[in-house]
Amino acid sequence: MIRLGTRGSALALAQSGTVADAVRQLGHQVELVEISTAGDRSSAPVAQLGVGVFVSALRDALLAKEIDFAVHSFKDLPTAPADGLSVVAVPGRADPRDALVSRDSLSLAELGPGARIGTGAVRRIAQLNALGRGLIAVPIRGNVDTRLRKVADGELDAVVLARAGIARLGRADEITETLDPLLMLPAPAQGALAVECRADDVELLELLAALDDPFTRAAVTAERTLLAELEAGCSAPVGALAEVAEGDDGPEIYLRGAVFSPDGSQTIRLSRTGTLADPAEVGRALARDLRDEGADQVMGESQ
């Protein structure tokens, strides 16, 4: 029996269940082991909790051999590699875009000044502010059900969430609008999962590698390298989205990246195209471009 470590939230269980089913289809038995993380036990904003707050307990359990592998939302992982562990597979990505769930099925354009929109991400708050439409971004925490209930109960006019999470919970029909990345650029690696195990577990490494989708891995590598090069954490006001498309000489990566001031008053958006053979270099190059345009100052960094 292979032990798969997972957070206990409905979304984490749904994501882990998908990976567990894929491993079972390879002919192996899988047991889900729930691990409580500091992020699950705290009601503080993610930006205050720090990078990796949903990840460290799972990684500790892996290193202690209490579980054999873990499934993470890739956007929650720190960009620095973890000693003794390997992200062995990045399965095919779900829709990476953000989604709006609003009262009365109002689109983002139809929500007027003073509309209260809930989100826990500094990146989303900055982009809502950047629209200049008088929308009020309300910082919230909690699982998907809790956030959607705030709209149903009338506490908020709308919430913005990752579309992938809503869909994985079977609630995609409640989405009012899937937001164009030109309006709301997603977080790096949003919609992607990371399958992680011990680097010395050769047998399991070989087994889980079958779950890897090379195009998804290339895309999130470009996005996360951009984030790392900007020395920003997963809660920073940075958006990125890479797509793999057919170019003149084979598949290419098209990477869009943006940095925002927290109040949305300043935004830098740029893009880069590069070879699929070195997605990390695409991310590094775009990070250099953004820095040249003043990204550090926009994000409030003192470097």
Chain segment 134-191, per-residue pLDDT in tens: 999 999 988 899 999 999 999 999 999 999 999 999 999 999 999 999 999 999 999 9
Residue 263: active-site member: no
pLDDT above 80 (res 302): no
Higher pLDDT, 67 or 234: 67
10 Å Cβ neighbour count for 278? 16
What is the rounded distance in angstroms from the CA atom of residue 287 to the CA atom of residue 294?
A: 11
Burial pattern 59-86, b for ≥16 Cβ within 10 A else e, equals bebbeeeebbbbbbbbbbbbbeebeebb
Q: What mean pLDDT is reported for the chain?
A: 91
pLDDT above 80 (res 293): yes
Q: In the chain, where does the domain assigned CATH 3.30.160.40 lie?
A: 218-298
pLDDT above 50 (res 47): no
What is the rounded distance in angstroms from the CA atom of residue 238 to the CA atom of residue 126?
A: 10
Q: Which residues contact 196 (CB under 8 A, 6 or more apart)?
A: 58, 59, 62, 69, 70, 71, 72, 82, 85, 86, 87, 88
Q: In the chain, where does the domain assigned CATH 3.40.190.10 lie?
A: 2-90+192-212, 98-178
Write down the architecture of domain 218-298 according to CATH. 2-Layer Sandwich (3.30)
Which residue type occupies 174? E
Chain segment 6-45, per-residue pLDDT in tens: 999 999 999 999 999 999 999 999 999 999 865 444 444 4
CATH number listed for the domain at residues 98-178 = 3.40.190.10
Is 33 strand, coil or helix? Answer: strand
Chain segment 191-202, per-residue pLDDT in tens: 999 999 999 999
Higher pLDDT, 81 or 222: 222
At residue 164, the pLDDT reads 97
pLDDT band at 133 (very low <50, low <70, confident <90, very high): very high
- C-beta of residue 20 within 8 angstroms of C-beta of residue 44: no
- C-beta of residue 100 within 8 angstroms of C-beta of residue 177: yes
> Which residue of the set 76, 98, 157, 201 is catalytic?
76
- Percent pLDDT > 70 in the chain is 92
Rounded to an integer, the average pLDDT of 267-288 is 95
84 token code pair: 């003794």
pLDDT band at 300 (very low <50, low <70, confident <90, very high): confident
Which CATH topology does 2-90+192-212 take?
D-Maltodextrin-Binding Protein; domain 2 (3.40.190)
